[in-house]
Structure 1
Amino acid sequence: MEKNQMQPVDIYGNQFKRAGFVLVLLLGTFLTIINQTLLVTALPKIMGDLDINAIDAQWLITSFMLISGIMIPTTAFLLNTITNRTLFFIAMGSFAVGTVICALSTTFTTLLIGRIIQAMGSGLMIPLMQTLMFMVYPVERRGEAMGLVGVVIAFSPAIAPTVSGWIVDSFDWRYLFYILLPIVGINILLAFFYMKNIIKLTKPKLDVFSLILSSLGLGLLLYGISIAGNVGWQNMTSWISCIIGVVVVILFTHRQLKLAQPFLEVKVFKSRTFTLSTIIVAIIFMTMIASEILLPIYTQTIKEFSALQSGLILLPGALVLGVISPIAGKLIDKHGIKKIATIGMLILTIASLPFVFLTKETATWWIVSLYSLRMLGMGLVMIPLATVGINALPNELISHGSAINNTVRQVFASLGSAIMVGVMSATVIKYNNNFDGTSALLKGLNYGFMSAFLLIVVAFILCFFIKSTNYLKETD
């Protein structure tokens, strides 16, 4: 292959070094994604320092997920309106400002504002990175490229509890943000040299009503799910918010099908491969995020481990996920998705079942081994399937596919936490009169992990409907 075919080019036809471009994208995405779960183990310290209750503290995580989810669909429009270089600086700039506010916060209000500004940058950054990675790699190497993305998307939230546990056990919780600032600064500096414009702008007309419907529908849906996750599904506000949110999302979808220049091209769901892979990946991701909430509850409450010890239990699994993701990407480039996904889902299903039967006496090494095995299965399935799904779309729809893929994953992540924590809480209430508090909580955790296992079984079944062909461009 000739050199000019090997190296990507910018919109002016000039070649540039892919390695620096990719490094800037992945580092920026790592910084934004790690914040999704960075505060999970730090909330008790923040509650004590700022004198807030658990429900208020939970909004520091909920607001981040909520705003990120609202921002993600706008990237498809923005990538065709603003140069990708400018959009990158807007995303990282917003994240940097939010991080500074969080680091300097002395009240709950300022900390919450900082988290919201951070989330605006994060919501733009994730689909931006995914779209650009697809554009700078040839079709036959996109599995390898998305393997690198998998290291970031899956590894970041997995390692965050370990980092957070160490920091809050040893230092002030504000150091969670202090340590991010120099890395953010370095990444922005590198972007001045390596970030290039590679997407030709089409300047679509903004349909303001679509923007309103998208933001309102997703906002209400995520808000309702978040309330359910915090106080339970018996709350009528959560149901009303979710129902109205779903109705508005349906109206938004109907409008997109009628527009000549849709705000978000929902016709990507005509691709069977894209639709199936998006659903399967979202289910797997929701069980991963929910398990990373349930497992620390088990280790810190039932096993009475510290935040750091709890995080260290998750660390080997995070490392396994980080190692297997790029390997899995290369495997699908060579062998296709069917075989790799089936093996990965089988491993994931088998490794998930024992969590249903956790007891107070379950050995720590057994938990670490099972969790690592789960991460191995996820690494073989999650990013490879996402790659094949988006690769089934023509290049002009990749930005829309990335935005939709990430939006669905964000909604499912919130839904997974709400469902599994809700199942756990409902079970604890049910058994509280018959058992002591610890036994009731353990029963709740078992049922929470059972719901995760059942969802994984559903994803496994759906995997058999994925086409074995890897890089087919569907036109139907």
Structure 2
Amino acid sequence: MTTTTDAPDTAPTRAPERSATPVRPAPEREAPRSSGTPWIVSLLVLVTGMFMSVLDVSIVNVAIPAMQKDFGVTTDDIQWVSTAYSLALGVIVPVSAWLGARLGLGRAYVISLVAFGVGSALCGLAWDINSMIVFRVLQAIPGGIIPVVALSMVYQIVPRERIGAAMGLYGLGIVFAPAVGPTLGGYLVEYVDWRLIFFINVPIGVLGAAAAIIWLPMARGARGKRFDVLGFLAIATGLFSLLLALSEGESWGWTSYPVMILITVGLLALALFVVIELEVDEPLLDVRVFRYWAFTNSLLLIAVLSVGLFGVLFFVPLFLQQTQGLGAFDTGLLLLPQAIVMGILMPVAGRIYDRFGPRWPAVIGLSILALGTWMLRDLSVDTSWTELRWILAFRAVGMGLAMMPIMTGGISAVPADRVSGASAFNNVTQRTASAMGLAALTALLGSRQAQQMSDSGAVTTMPASTGGGGPAALLTEYSMYGKVQSAAFVTALDDLMMVTAGLTVVGVVLAFFLRSGPAPASGGPAVVEA
């Protein structure tokens, strides 16, 4: 990697030339400290914050029914606890790269950890649905900043030739946290109190911030960097509109005027954002990173993986609880082995990346993921828990092998001074792809389930007593309806798994275009300088 150095003192002296364009601040560099911190220690500090912020997404979903009961609200109302968080993330993630450059990555990370802990405490103290929604928005603001800043810092502190191993550990927060969330959340909800899922973030945030102050670089930010107001308004409007349409499409109707208008506004706003970013001198996010095909391809693959990960994490627990009658904690225990498999394989995949590059771990991992998802097409009401546990663990092998090599290979293709913007796009892709994919899969599931109910000759509403036969006949009719509904749900879910498997096969093809071979050595330091 080529670096620019100052001219030697012996160079001929001449008057400096004036440039018509303003001079931009140099990329943030860290001033040396007396004792260096091994990069592995600094990485573990970043993993802690990343794990906490991502875990909060899946762990809260388990507590939604308990919150609904305590607050005494409808299903539509309680869903805004998750929807508001997603919408706020969509707005704040694009700003994260600018905040990291403005405040300095280390300072932005510490402030975000403390703010996330405060927001979590407020959520735990919420007294009604309105206060909970407001506090979830406040929690989402630092929650969206942490992943972007943390990923940027990983590429700042880790030598290029060790980035695969580092990202293998970093990936524990991205993949392992959502997978382990249902187990931890299920236990807290079922045996303690749902408010503890928020309060548990407070001590983690405090300890994480203290560790960050001690072991992370705390360089000053670029004070002269302007904020791209027009770009922010465009991308915030676009992402907010699309996420709102996808979140409410099922209840409002996918062809309803509000949803169609939101989708149209969202797409137009994102197109306007691209135009603005290509014209301004200091863009909020540098869209020119998409010139690097390796990075663009990695985002496409991350979208495929996000759909596969969060789709299964959402629908399989639904299958277990609605069709097979498992409780929240037992469902989490059944899903725990896949989380363990991913946690073990993440560092292994990182080392494989360092030696062989991203292509082959991605191809092999996505192939395993596609096969494992295809095996889920045979789910039935009588599927044994042992069989399902093994299939999910097998899928987890593919996810664990593929995720971090894909992400690492993409961001490694971007110049060092554009990593912050690339990491922001990376997180936007993860959030929007999981939301869009889940919305599309939910719509498909509902359509297929309705079709199955129609084909079976069953009504699509709960049977009501017609006055004949008495309570026993009504109970029998209700039981038969429940069986038909469960069978229709399982059949629709099987179709959904086949669609997801097909999408993953497309990812296998794209993975062949990734780089093969180890990344060139950077000669960077093995310690963090601050």
Where 1:466 maps in the other structure, the secondary structure is: coil
| Per-residue CA distance 1:28-67 (angstroms, 9 max, x = gap) | 1111111111122221111111011112211211222221
Aligned to 1:454: 502
Q: Size of the alignment, in residue pairs? A: 465
CA distance in 2 between partners of 1:99 and 1:274 (Å): 34
The one-letter code of the counterpart of 1:163 is L
Shift of residue 239 of structure 1?
2.6
- Contact 2:241/2:263 (8 A) holds in 1: yes
CA distance in 2 between partners of 1:363 and 1:296 (Å): 14
Aligned to 2:36: 16
Shift of residue 343 of structure 1?
1.2
Aligned to 1:276: 297
The answer to whether the aligner puts 1:295 opposite 2:343 as a matched pair is no
The one-letter code of the counterpart of 1:69 is G
Aligned positions of 1:92-103 closer than 5 A: 92-103=113-124
- Percentage of pairs with the same residue: 27
Shift of residue 229 of structure 1?
5.1
CA distance in 2 between partners of 1:396 and 1:203 (Å): 16
Where 2:120 maps in the other structure, the secondary structure is: helix
Seen in structure 2, the aligned counterparts of structure 1 residues 340 and 401 have a Cα distance that, compared at 3 Å, is same
Shift of residue 215 of structure 1?
1.2
The answer to whether the aligner puts 1:371 opposite 2:392 as a matched pair is yes
- Contact 2:302/2:429 (8 A) holds in 1: no
Shift of residue 199 of structure 1?
7.3
- Contact 1:151/1:323 (8 A) holds in 2: no
Aligned to 2:83: 62
TM-score (norm 1): 0.94
The one-letter code of the counterpart of 1:11 is E
TM-score (norm 2): 0.84
CA distance in 1 between partners of 2:439 and 2:503 (Å): 14
Where 1:209 maps in the other structure, the secondary structure is: helix
Aligned to 2:231: 210
- Contact 2:372/2:394 (8 A) holds in 1: yes
CA distance in 1 between partners of 2:220 and 2:209 (Å): 20
Structure 2 unaligned spans of 5+: 1-27, 459-483, 522-530
Structure 1 unaligned spans of 5+: 1-8
Higher share of residues assigned helix: 1
- Contact 2:341/2:393 (8 A) holds in 1: yes
- Contact 2:47/2:172 (8 A) holds in 1: no
Where 1:197 maps in the other structure, the secondary structure is: coil
Aligned to 1:178: 199
Runs (4 or more) in structure 1 with deviation over 4 Å come to: 229-232
Where 2:204 maps in the other structure, the secondary structure is: helix
Seen in structure 2, the aligned counterparts of structure 1 residues 230 and 84 have a Cα distance that, compared at 3 Å, is farther
| Per-residue CA distance 1:66-120 (angstroms, 9 max, x = gap) | 2112211112212221122221132112211211111111201111112111111
Aligned to 1:44: 65
| Per-residue CA distance 1:270-310 (angstroms, 9 max, x = gap) | 00100001110121112211111100110011111111111
**Which among 34, 41, 54 is matched to residue 55 of structure 2?**
34
- Contact 1:71/1:120 (8 A) holds in 2: yes
**Which among 125, 128, 142 is matched to residue 149 of structure 2?**
128
- Contact 1:256/1:264 (8 A) holds in 2: yes
Aligned positions of 1:54-453 closer than 5 A: 54-198=75-219, 201=222, 203-228=224-249, 233-433=254-454, 434=456, 435=458, 436-453=484-501
| Per-residue CA distance 1:183-202 (angstroms, 9 max, x = gap) | 22221222232232257637
CA distance in 2 between partners of 1:424 and 1:66 (Å): 24
Bigger-Rg structure (1/2): 2
Where 2:110 maps in the other structure, the secondary structure is: helix
- Contact 2:359/2:513 (8 A) holds in 1: no
Shift of residue 175 of structure 1?
1.5
The one-letter code of the counterpart of 2:512 is F
Deviates more, 1:328-337 or 1:192-201: 192-201
The one-letter code of the counterpart of 1:179 is I
The one-letter code of the counterpart of 2:316 is L
Deviates more, 1:313-322 or 1:356-365: 356-365
The one-letter code of the counterpart of 1:391 is S
CA distance in 2 between partners of 1:333 and 1:198 (Å): 29
- Contact 1:229/1:417 (8 A) holds in 2: no
Shift of residue 13 of structure 1?
2.0
Deviates more, 1:420-429 or 1:398-407: 420-429
Deviates more, 1:9-18 or 1:31-40: 9-18
The one-letter code of the counterpart of 2:331 is S
Shift of residue 139 of structure 1?
0.8
Where 2:31 maps in the other structure, the secondary structure is: coil
The one-letter code of the counterpart of 2:324 is K
The one-letter code of the counterpart of 1:381 is A
CA distance in 1 between partners of 2:215 and 2:407 (Å): 26
- Contact 1:420/1:449 (8 A) holds in 2: no
- Contact 2:320/2:326 (8 A) holds in 1: yes
Where 2:282 maps in the other structure, the secondary structure is: coil
Shift of residue 154 of structure 1?
0.5
CA distance in 2 between partners of 1:12 and 1:221 (Å): 42
Deviates more, 1:401-410 or 1:446-455: 446-455
